[in-house]
Each structure stands twice: as structure tokens, then as C-alpha cells.
Chain A
Amino acid sequence: MEKKDSGIILSIRDVSKSFPGVKALDNVSIEIERGIVHGIVGENGAGKSTLMKILSGVYTKDTGKVMFDGETIEHTTPIESLNRGLSIIYQEFNLVNTMSVGENIFLGRFKEMNGMRGTHAEARKLLDSIGCDIDTRTLVGDLSAAEKQMLEITKALSFNSKLIIMDEPSSSLTSDELKQLFAIIGDLKARGVSIIYISHKLDEIFELCDIVTVMRDGHVIDTKPVGELTRAEMITKMVGRSIEHEYPERPRCVGDTLMEVRSINTHKLHDISFELKKGEILGFVGLVGAGRTEIVRAICGADKVKGHHVLVEGKPARIKKPADAKKIGIGLLPEDRKLQGLVLRFSVQSNIVMASLDKMTRFGFVNSSREKEIAERQISNLGIKTPSAQTTVLSLSGGNQQKCVVGRWLEINPQILIMDEPTRGIDVGAKYEIYVLMKQVVENGGSIIMISSELPEVLNMSNRVLTICEGRITGEFNPEEVSAQTIMDSAIG
């Protein structure tokens, strides 16, 4: 037994876990070999996160056996897992924003590090070892998502981790940062560290992983070397049905000019001018921090810009705050669903009716039956999977949460819907549904501005693409005519 297991760093056997009403994991067995990158793919709700939380000790398993590095693990706590050499990097970073980089790496280990000086010195060494030059005294709250990712990896290394689990590590990284992450992962692998790489992005799985496990509805469907699977096979296994297309057919209903934006200038934006046509999906491509989000925030009045630069149907629109934008029919799906898009502790219903409450209000009183009716209608139209309209949004999966935000804006029949990273952290099946929704919006006469870090979805959904680099619009393309390479070149500048 021991001999056989020496090549296995982590073995999960017949692990099950139930929550009230749901069997989150059903007899799951996975073995992770030393020094490889093991991908785990599956739609949201497939049980990946539950499995990770059992490994880290946040949840306790109902049945089954977990062996890590030759030891059986029964009950564990997050810190015990870390000390054993098992680190997990969550999608929502486990960092204290109000503290410095160095202190975050050695959180709770101040004494062992001999105070502040030792903390910073050790942190510097570790950061250097992965080629990262962040100042250890910077506040974590001031770091970019990519830098936080590096920090999390450094933190994992500080525990001499033998196995690092990364949950959706690429969801907020640009392609350059992703390359850097891949390089670091390659380096870790060379040092003999095993990696579990959880991702929705199949391209990454194919590029990075040696072995891949597909999960669905709490079961392990298959574990295979990556080379033995095609992309289509993998998708079929993930969704349990074959998806013929990842994208619906490109909508074609572009009409006359609907909105005109004239020379927005701020600290970060320079001479931003463009047009949006009726029934058009306009894609914004650029690196994170290029100014994509700032442009739409300026249009919606979420950030202050001097003067009026937006013309809707030829008339100047006075937009000083998002409420003004709503009045003239501009809806914004913010980049950060959880912080800006949803009130997580509110019910599905409250979140959906949030923007359209005045429609169901008379003399200041809300008509609650109408409120319910609207919520129910959006839930069924969009296929939001929720036990009831009264369930808190917090308990829904990412895809269903995003649909709640979409539902909110569809209810006010927006002329212009601005979608900032509409499919971030959403699985393949739910992505397709969001694309279909986008198509419906433009077919019903609306227009969409779509911002995305995922080039393929912009290329497949947009009628026109603008590339943005360092706060300037650097190019305009017809995605049907040019290659992804051309567009990316223009976006990098």
C-alpha cells in the first residue's frame, strides 16, 4: 500500500457530502500524483468548491477517506491543512486588504517571523523566488487582482506547500498576466509541487494540465490525461449533453446610430469618441486597466466627468449619476457582480425588482403582488435556478446570480445595456444562456456594449469591436473580417 501510494500526494476515496436537500458530493474518488498539474473542470454546482472546502477543513465530509502525503486526514481545520502542506487559493482572495503584503503572507505567524523586520525580509525572499517585485510594505488593498494572485501563491509557498489548489485563478487576469501565472505554475511543478487547477476555461486546461478530472452534479465523470480528450468531448462530459455551439449565431440587426459619445477626457481616458447603433453589440477589447470599465462608468455617470458628452438619438443626455442613466434607458451590469451588481443578502426577488421598483409603486407604496409577479416572470424567462423568489442571492451559483442582474435590467427594457465582463466565473452552459439573452435584447431593439477579457466571446458575439489601450481607442474592427491576432495587437498597442 505504502509503496503504491508514494507517487500519490492526495487521494480522495468515496467522499460524500450532503447539505439539506442537496447531495453536493456523491462517492467522489480522485487521486492526485506528485509534481503534476491536475485540472478539475465542471459546471458551477458540480461540487468542485465543496470538495475543496472539505480538503481545506471548512466543511466536514459525511463519509469517505482522504489521504494526504501518506496520512489519513479525518477532521482538519484550515490552518492544519496549511501546515501539512496543502494550500488553497480561492477565487475570492483570502487576504486582509488593510494590511501590508508582507504581513499578509505571514498572517498569524508574526511571532515566528520575529516581528515586522523578519516578516518583511522573509516576504521579500519568497516574492523574489517567484520573480515578483511588489514592495512588501504596499497595502494589499492597493494591489491589482493579478498581484493579489501572486501574493496568494507566495503565501502558499511560505507554508512549504506540497499541493496548491487554485480555484478559478485566471478569472480576473489578462492574457499577459495569465502567461506569467503559467510560468510560475511551471516553475512550481519543476520544484515538485503538485497543482490542482480548477477552471471553466478549457483553453487553459488544455494548455496547462497533465491530467483532467471532469465533474458533474457531485459525481466524478471521468479522469484522463489531457491529450486523450478533445474539447468537444470534455464539454459533453461537463454538461451531460453535447453542446453543438459554444455561441449562438451572431445577431444581425444593426440599425441607425442610437448613442454618440464625444471626446471624454479624464486622467485615465483620452479623447474617447464612438457611436453605438441600434440593435448592435459593440465589443470593447483591452487589457485590464486599459480604461474599458472607466469608459462605461463615465457614460453611466458612475464616475464624475466634466461636461456632457453623450448624445442619445441625437439629443444631449444629461447623465450625472447612474439613476439618470437608468431614466434614459441605460442599464449597467457592473464588472464585480458580488460588490456592485447584487445585494448578496437580499432575496432573488428584491435584487430583480431593484431597478424597476417605481413601476410597481403607487403613492409611494409598493404593490407586493406585482413585485412578486415580475420576479417570477424573470425567474422563468431567464431560467434562474432558485428554490424560490425569496431565496437569498448568496446561495445561488455564479451563473444564476448573473442572470438576476440581467433580469433586473431587462425589466426596465433598456435601450442600451452595458455588460462589463458578463460571463466572468460562469460555466459553459450558463455562458451560452447569457449569450442567448444578449441576442434577445438586440433582437428586441436594444443595443449592447460588451466588455470582456475573453477574446473569443467578444469575437463571436459582437458586430463591431473597439480596441482600447492606455485610455485611448486604438482601433475599430469588424470581428468577422479580422483575426484575433490583429485585434490583440491593436489592444496591446
Chain B
Amino acid sequence: MKRFSKLALPYIVWAALMLVLPMVLIALYSVMEQGNSIISFSFTLDHYIKFFTDPDFLLILWRSIAIAVKTTLICLILGYPAAYFISKCSEKTQNVLILCITLPMWINMLVRTYAWIGILSEGGILQRILGFFGLGDMELLYTEGSVLLGMVYNFLPFMILQVHTSLTKMDHSLLEASADLGADPVQTFRRVTLPLSLPGVINGITLVFLPAVSSFFIPKLLGGGQYFLIGNMIENQFITVGEWNFGSAISMIIAVIMMLLMMAVRRIEIHNQGGKGARA
């Protein structure tokens, strides 16, 4: 097989140009004085200082992380049982259910989110239904709840699919062995199924948390003008304010925070595998 290694060369060049270089550029722009070009580079940390000394910006960062954590938790609480249920069905039913879950993902994410505006808005269908229960006055759109709903709606399928994959990959004889050895279903689930599905859970968390933390169209569409997250801040810097260097600095900050969080999550995974799975 060695002779095929040359085939990787073009891709390595491409990856350096299209994947690595852009990140380098963000880093460069973020420490450059506003209005400078790469050629007349002059170093400054002002953009980072500006971000970290302003309580308003920090609040936005905190809020973005908080809502992403909430989204991830809800997706996990809803997604895990759903994936578990699917994995217990016959293969044919499984295929149908998985298809049902993937199908909406083929329809544009923005369009689906946009449809929620009509459903949630004042005088819309949901408010009318709630009206029957005497809750007609509840504000639905442009609240934190609507942003959260939009995120769960968009990202829940990722969680279900990931967990489902890891559950179906599992060796079923392990479950039988566990039952034969006298474990009740709850014990089997806790001691066997759950640890073995952990990689799927971790992948699911990554796939939900990452887009949730930096999403900017969901807060913009469902949160209204007053719901500002870190993604909106970055968009704003690039599209309407035009301070690219500050925008790059915010991007760097969020990228680094994400990297650290992801590393922490991976560590849990490795720790768990070393502790339980491997020795069993």
C-alpha cells in the first residue's frame, strides 16, 4: 500500500491553503491594528483588551455559553431515550425512523427556523392553542425560550443519530451476558449500555454544542433584535460595523474556548474508557 502515499500530497497542499491558512489569517488579523493590511502589519493586543475589559461583551459570551449548555442538556435528555427506543425496534422500523429524523435535515435549516416564526408569533397557531388553556397571553416569540426551542429543533437530530449509531454498534451478547449474570434491566443499562454508548453521547454533545454556541441566525430570527449572542456580535463586526480586526479577535476567543472545552470533554471519554470499558 505504501506506493499510494503520494496520492495524499495534493490534498496536503490544499489543506494547508484552505484549512490552516484561514486560521492563521484570523489570528494575524486579531492582533493587527484596525485598517492595516497584512503587508504593513503592526502588532497590538487592543482588540483582546477591548473585549475582556467590557462587562457587556463578557455578559454576551457568558449568555452564549449558557444557552448552548442548556440546548445540549435538553438534546441529551430528549435525544438519548429516543435513540435508545429506536435501537430497540426491528431493523426495518429503525430504518424508517432514522429516515424520518434525517429527512427534515434535507430541507433548509433557515427555512425550517423561519416557519417557527409563524407558529410562535402573536396570534399564531400555538398561542391560539394555549389560549384554550387560559395561557393565551404568554409571550412566545422573541424570548429566550424561543431561541432555545429553535436550537433544540435544529440540533436534536444530530444527537439522536450519534447516540443511535453507538447503540447499534454495541455488541448485544454483552447485554445477554449481563442479564445471564443476574443483572436487572436497570443495572444492565447503567453498567453496560450507558458506558458503551458514551462515545456517541460525546460526539452528539460536540455536534450540538458547537453550532449552538456560535449560531447567529437562530437568535436573530427567533430572538428578535434584542437577543444578542456572540455569533451575532461577530457577524455585526464583519457585516455592518466593518471592524474586522475586532471581529477576528472575538472569533479567536470563541475558537480557543471551544477547543479547551472540547479537549475537556474528550478527556472524560478517555478517562471513562480507561476506567471501565477496557477492563471489562
Tell me if chain B binds chain A.
Answer: no
Q: Which residues of B are at the interface with A, using a C-beta cutoff of 8 A?
A: none
Q: Which residues of A are at the interface with B, using a C-beta cutoff of 8 A?
A: none
